[in-house]
Structure 1
Amino acid sequence: MPPALKALAAQIAGWIAAFALVRSGALPAGLWPLVAAQALCAVAAAAALRSARWWLPIHLAFTPLAVAARTLNLAPGWYLAAFVGLLLIYWTSFRTQVPLYLSNRPTAEALAGLLPESPARMLDIGGGTGSLLRRLAALRPDCRFCGVELAPGPWLAGKLLLARQPQVEWRRTDLFSEPWADYDLVYAFLSPVPMEAVWRKAVAEMRPGSLLVSNTFDIPGRKPDFVVEVADRRATRLLAWRIPAPRAPK
């Protein structure tokens, strides 16, 4: 089931369950007990539908925020502005299921240690705001970096942040549209959903011996060649795979 359809189904299931609780007398009278029950039931339905974990807080907050917003008497333009702002930041996340994740300074330091001697080239396929590449450019000025980001808001932030970083290329494109063949290390901080496709593209395009590094998210059925434990509050794990040589035809 597509993620957007799962979300709709979870919200509908939440309302059906909440009204059933009201009819049975299990809930006290009033609007907010109904709203709270709907939110909790929607979360349970989303979990049962195996929605991505980041959908759960959205379901928990959606109806309470919608009801609360009706009491604020805000002008319609504020809702339009909020929608446009979220659209610029998250863009096609509903389709790709890749939210905006930002890599911290300890992660940049760990990645800098994984880059081979110059002239190494690294590609960040979920570039976000470009903050990771800015730190890496300072740590490894001997290397060349490229970042790709599709969402307009983060891409524009990266464009401004990296304006004075000549060793960093910053492109607005889909991560699967960018060729990966020229890079010694490709870094991904995405979500579990695209990782199988990421592996297929890496094996098809990257040079044997180069590194594919994933922050947190594993590749189904592929044990990493090594794991770097980052000393940060997130307990970040960098999973690394060496790209194998192509098999000789039989």
Structure 2
Amino acid sequence: MSLLGLACLQGGLAAIVSALLLAPRWWWPIHLVFVPALVLAIQLQLPISIYAAGFFILLLTYWSTFRTQVPLFLSNRITVHRLAAWLADDQALKVLDLGSGTGSFALSLAQLRPDWRVTGIESAPGPFVISRWLGRKANNLTLLRADFWPHSLASYDVVYAFLSPVPMPSLWQKARKEMRPGSLLISNSFPIPGITPDKILSINDRRQTQLFVYRIPSGKTHKGATGNTAEVIRF
């Protein structure tokens, strides 16, 4: 068997093992193609400049992911539409998207609700430039290139996050400290450990998205102790 054939066999076995170990599905194709792509690239004798360009593109896209452990996740339009419908209110809401990426959530929400004020904050320069270009005509959309941790959450009615499990405990502490009682922290896919959400919005999309809704309580008591059952709203 050729070296490339062995690499393909290794990739197939790695993908199968990844699936059997219940790894997230997006890891499966990575295991499948990584080693074959590496062997193929060596055999093609590609110029070094291509690798440098690839590294530069990945750097612009993921930036400080190695530190934050928050990859680039994109919210689909179905999720944005369902959440906008659930939040429907005569009140002009101020919404913040933490880690807004290419603007998939912030721009879509701003287009759906022109009476709301939507802000997105993103640290990676690549996705930020794309979001600025896509959202250049949205008058009710503000996009900031910055680390969201120093950014105050005090003025927002709704804070939306599609991050990873790693920052959720710290984000909850930041939200409890800065957000007004009654305002909402909404996390796509990743619940806050030890805190029961007030609502779970179950979206009937391809990936069966779940939005965990936490209403900021008054005082210092944690609302939603472990063991309570959250109301599930299905769309």
Please give the TM-score of this superposition, normalised by the length of structure 1: 0.77
Deviation, structure 1 residue 61: 3.5
Deviation, structure 1 residue 63: 2.7
1:123 aligned counterpart, secondary structure:
strand
Q: Which one of 43, 64, 74 corresponds to residue 92 of structure 1?
A: 64
From the superposition, tell whether residues 41 and 103 of structure 1 become closer, same or farther in structure 2 (CA, over 3 Å).
closer
**Whole-angstrom CA distance in 2 between matches of 1:122 and 1:193:** 23
Contact 2:4/2:40, CA 8 A, preserved across alignment: no
Letter paired with 1:167: N
Aligned residues: 218
Structure 1 residue runs without a partner (length 5+): 1-28
Deviation, structure 1 residue 38: 6.0
**Whole-angstrom CA distance in 2 between matches of 1:98 and 1:43:** 25
Partner of 1:135: 108
Q: Which one of 62, 66, 69 corresponds to residue 41 of structure 2?
A: 69
**Whole-angstrom CA distance in 1 between matches of 2:68 and 2:9:** 30
Letter paired with 1:141: P
2:53 aligned counterpart, secondary structure:
helix
Contact 1:147/1:170, CA 8 A, preserved across alignment: yes
Letter paired with 1:171: L
**Is residue 2:182 matched to residue 1:218?**
no
Contact 1:199/1:219, CA 8 A, preserved across alignment: yes
Contact 1:110/1:230, CA 8 A, preserved across alignment: yes
Larger C-alpha radius of gyration, 1 or 2? 1
Please give the TM-score of this superposition, normalised by the length of structure 2: 0.82
**Whole-angstrom CA distance in 1 between matches of 2:31 and 2:215:** 39
Q: Percent of pairs identical after alignment?
A: 48
User: Can you list the C-alpha shifts for 1:124-175, whole angstroms capped at 9, x where unaligned?
Assistant: 0020111322221121111101000111110000111111112111000112
Partner of 2:145: 172
**Whole-angstrom CA distance in 2 between matches of 1:139 and 1:30:** 54
Partner of 2:83: 111
User: Can you list the C-alpha shifts for 1:69-97, whole angstroms capped at 9, x where unaligned?
Assistant: 11112211111111111111111212212
Partner of 1:12: none
Deviation, structure 1 residue 41: 6.5
From the superposition, tell whether residues 110 and 155 of structure 1 become closer, same or farther in structure 2 (CA, over 3 Å).
same
Deviation, structure 1 residue 67: 1.3
Letter paired with 1:90: Y
Letter paired with 1:105: R
**Whole-angstrom CA distance in 2 between matches of 1:57 and 1:199:** 33
**Whole-angstrom CA distance in 2 between matches of 1:42 and 1:102:** 23
Contact 1:131/1:161, CA 8 A, preserved across alignment: no
Letter paired with 1:145: V
**Whole-angstrom CA distance in 1 between matches of 2:25 and 2:205:** 22
Contact 1:216/1:236, CA 8 A, preserved across alignment: yes
